């Protein structure tokens, strides 16, 4: 990728690796994560301004511990090793690492013994975040000790002339008091980066890359209306214009007016080339009589591929497929095994690229959702679109428990519209990661006027989350909930009871299926 300046992070499997990348980009420097075994030749091609060796769960002396090409230390590129990264530097350059008698986890006091350019403007004593079982016990030649903690006498080391630095603690974790200062010292004092990375510069670098990669070929995308894939489509269209063909498949499982609004925004306002396929009848007929959630998903996935493939065949010059894959979609930071293949299947449009022999364009593979939102804003997508809650590919089918029918879809669409509108008018939509309603396959007794009713139950779900991996239920003001419940029961025929889901993820999931 042609970002003019970048920091390369080699990932040894730490749970914090993503956080390092994010902190760096927050300081307006582009950073990219690559697996620890990323070949030296490729590293050189990136021309990184600096390299960070991440932490990792293993001991450098484990038999299967990840290794590093020692020539990395001769590239004359500044290196910062964090935790496992520090221990690897020590081991590879002739020092010694041993299991700690007193392991350190959590907040610890760090004391600078001899300051240097990495610790400029950092207090002599400060709180840092530790998470390690091994310790550096002997320094490699040419290194000095810069700081210690209670249980790590060698807690920060450096060889300033070679610009190699190591920290036992995690500067990327917010509990490390001067963590950001240390990182910015590395970025700006040591690597001499300039803080010029921004959504704008990302867009222009990506446009250049996409043009180079695609050449005169055509690109296709499935435009569902989700934020990530939509922003990706707009970005690609800026690069190659009409050679991007967006296919919007209306599965009949969308929310009220959703397909209409998507077409309006992308076709009329943003001038993307869109093919609109109304496949509602096909999806509904395939789903007839099916209650098992996994079976429903499979049927929807296969029908989607069938419709999409049929359309794509009309464009023989198509060689690429755009997807809005985000970094958290790339499972487990796949780290130690090498970052390769594994993308959550539901994001990988059901194996489309392999089946159709298309190459993937995934401009946001390194980014987080909030970063993609910033890019979407910069590309001119409207704010209410950018802030939309995630919506699953199989749509309302996973929110109707049991068989999906036209009538049930109609009920759920009406409920969902009321629910979301109320949340928006209470001004809390953006505090919530995702809010939706679920139509349960049970009926309960109610009373309306003088009549007994026997109708459907609706479950409301609203969660807060940062990435959808874990989630907590949203604490509504009771008055808002009351209003939502009243409006639903009063206005939607066929519903006489509303309940609110108060489970977190884990152990529950966000969707009900
Ligand atoms: P769960 O229910 O697994 O959901 O806690 C986590 C997040 O993933 C979304 N989700 C999907 N997104 N296709 C998607 O694009 C799918 O098949 C799918 N299933 C779940 C879900 O809405 C939540 O944001």
- Flag whether pLDDT at 344 surpasses 70: no
Q: In terms of Cα–Cα distance, which of 309, 301, 299, 297 is closest to 353?
A: 309
How much distance in Å is there from the Cα of 426 to the middle of ligand 1? 25
Outline where 170-263 has alpha helix (H): 179-184, 199-214, 227-240, 258-263
Task: Report the half-sphere exposure of 158 (CA within 13 A, side-chain side).
Answer: 20
| Active-site hit among 104, 172, 177, 371 | 172
Q: Domain limits of the chain?
A: 7-190, 199-386, 405-500
pLDDT score at 104: 79
Report whether residue 346 contacts ligand 1, using a CB cutoff of 6 Å: yes
pLDDT digits (tens, 9 = 90+) for 355-399: 778 899 999 988 888 899 999 999 999 999 999 999 998 999 999
Backbone angles phi, psi at 6, to 5 degrees: -150, 155
Cα separation of 348 and 209, whole Å? 22
Q: Which two tokens stand for residue 68?
A: 């590093």
Mean pLDDT of the chain: 92
DSSP state letter for 450 = T
CATH number for the domain whose boundaries are 199-386: 3.40.50.620
Count other C-beta atoms under 10 Å from residue 9's C-beta. 28
Task: Report the half-sphere exposure of 120 (CA within 13 A, side-chain side).
Answer: 10
pLDDT digits (tens, 9 = 90+) for 178-232: 999 999 999 999 999 999 889 999 999 999 999 999 999 999 999 999 999 999 9
Residue 463 · residue 474 · CB < 8 Å: yes
* 346 noted as active-site residue: no
Report whether residue 95 contacts ligand 1, using a CB cutoff of 6 Å: no
Backbone angles phi, psi at 197, to 5 degrees: -85, 135
Report whether residue 353 contacts ligand 1, using a CB cutoff of 6 Å: no
Q: What is the mean pLDDT of residues 94-114?
A: 91
Q: What confidence tier does 325 reach under pLDDT thresholds 50, 70, 90? A: confident
Q: Which two tokens stand for residue 13?
A: 């499997």
Share of the chain above pLDDT 90, in %: 80
CATH topology classification for 405-500:
GMP Synthetase; Chain A, domain 3 (3.30.300)
Cα separation of 103 and 130, whole Å? 9
pLDDT digits (tens, 9 = 90+) for 211-226: 999 999 999 999 999 9
Which residue from 230, 350, 390, 461 has its CB within 8 A of the most atoms of ligand 1, so it is best to mutate? 390
Q: Which atom of ligand 1 is nearest to the CA of 394?
A: 17
Considering 322-331, 334-343, 357-366, 434-443, the range whose residues carry the highest mean pLDDT is 434-443
Alpha-carbon dihedral 197, 199, 204, 210, rounded to 10 degrees? 110
pLDDT score at 101: 81
Contacts of 393 (CB under 8 A, 6+ apart): 224, 300, 301, 304, 346, 349
Report whether residue 505 contacts ligand 1, using a CB cutoff of 6 Å: yes
| Active-site hit among 3, 170, 248, 347 | 170
Contacts of 200 (CB under 8 A, 6+ apart): 378
CATH number for the domain whose boundaries are 7-190: 3.40.50.880
Helix (H, G, I), strand (E, B) or coil at 15: coil
Q: Which two tokens stand for residue 229?
A: 């894939």
What's the predicted TM-score (pTM) here? 0.80
| Active-site hit among 83, 155, 193, 221 | 83
Cα separation of 300 and 72, whole Å? 48
Q: In this structure, which residue's CA is closest to atom 9 in ligand 1? A: 392
199 burial via Cβ count (<10 Å: 0-12, 13-18, 19+): middle
pLDDT digits (tens, 9 = 90+) for 418-428: 999 999 999 99
The two domains 199-386 and 405-500 share their CATH topology (first three levels equal): no
Q: Which two tokens stand for residue 380?
A: 């001119």
Q: Which helix (H) or strand (E) holds 386?
A: helix 383-386
Of residues 30 and 103, more confidently modeled: 30
Cα separation of 144 and 259, whole Å? 63
Cα separation of 33 and 194, whole Å? 19
Where is average pLDDT lowest: 7-21, 32-46, 353-367, 481-495?
Answer: 353-367
How much distance in Å is there from the Cα of 285 to the middle of ligand 1? 24
Q: In terms of Cα–Cα distance, which of 10, 83, 75 is closest to 47?
A: 75
pLDDT digits (tens, 9 = 90+) for 130-157: 987 899 999 999 999 999 998 899 999 9
């Amino acid at each position: 990728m042609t970002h003019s300046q970048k920091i390369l992070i080699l990932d040894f499997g730490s749970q914090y690796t993503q956080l390092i990348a994010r902190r760096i980009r927050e300081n307006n420097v582009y950073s990219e994560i690559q697996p620890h075994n990323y070949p030296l030749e490729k590293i050189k091609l990136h021309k990184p301004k600096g390299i960070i060796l991440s932490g990792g769960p293993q001991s450098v002396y484990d038999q299967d511990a990840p290794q590093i090409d020692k020539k990395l230390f001769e590239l004359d590129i500044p290196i910062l090793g964090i935790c496992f990264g520090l221990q690897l530097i020590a081991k590879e350059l002739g020092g010694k690492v041993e299991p700690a008698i007193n392991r350190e986890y959590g907040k610890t006091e760090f004391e600078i013994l001899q300051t240097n350019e990495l610790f400029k403007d950092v207090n002599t004593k400060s709180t840092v975040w530790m998470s390690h079982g091994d310790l550096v016990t002997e320094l490699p030649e040419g290194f000095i000790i810069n700081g210690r903690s209670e249980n790590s006498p060698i807690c920060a080391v450096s060889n300033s002339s070679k610009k190699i630095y190591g920290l036992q603690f995690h500067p990327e974790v917010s509990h490390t008091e001067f963590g950001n200062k240390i990182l910015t010292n590395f970025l700006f004092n040591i690597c001499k980066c300039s803080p010029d990375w921004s959504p704008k510069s990302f867009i222009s670098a990506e446009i250049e890359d996409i043009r180079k990669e695609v050449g005169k070929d055509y690109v296709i995308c499935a435009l569902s209306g989700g934020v990530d894939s939509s922003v990706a489509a707009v970005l690609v269209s800026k690069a190659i214009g009409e050679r991007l063909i967006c296919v919007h498949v209306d599965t009949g499982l969308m929310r009220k007016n959703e397909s209409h609004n998507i077409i309006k925004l992308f076709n009329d306002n943003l001038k993307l080339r869109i093919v609109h396929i109304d496949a509602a009848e096909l999806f509904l007929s395939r789903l007839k009589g099916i209650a098992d959630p996994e079976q429903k998903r499979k049927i929807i996935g296969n029908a989607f591929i069938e419709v999409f493939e049929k359309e794509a065949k009309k464009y023989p010059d198509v060689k690429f497929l755009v997807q809005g894959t985000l970094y958290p979609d790339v499972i487990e930071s796949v780290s130690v095994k090498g970052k390769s293949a594994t993308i959550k299947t539901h994001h990988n449009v059901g194996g489309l690229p392999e089946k159709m022999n298309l190459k993937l364009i995934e401009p946001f593979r390194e980014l987080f959702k909030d970063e993609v939102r910033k890019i979407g804003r910069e590309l001119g997508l409207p704010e209410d679109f950018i802030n939309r809650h995630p919506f699953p590919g199989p749509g309302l089918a996973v929110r109707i428990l049991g068989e999906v029918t036209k009538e049930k879809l109609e009920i759920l669409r009406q409920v969902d519209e009321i629910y979301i509108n109320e949340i928006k008018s209470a001004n809390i939509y953006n505090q919530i990661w995702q809010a939706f309603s679920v139509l349960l396959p049970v009926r309960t007794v109610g009373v309306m006027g003088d009549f007994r009713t026997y109708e459907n139950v609706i479950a409301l779900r609203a969660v807060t989350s940062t990435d959808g991996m874990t989630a907590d239920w949203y604490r509504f003001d009771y008055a808002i909930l009351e209003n939502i419940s009243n409006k639903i029961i009063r206005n939607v025929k066929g519903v006489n009871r509303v309940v609110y889901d108060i489970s977190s993820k884990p152990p529950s999931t966000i969707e009900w299926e």
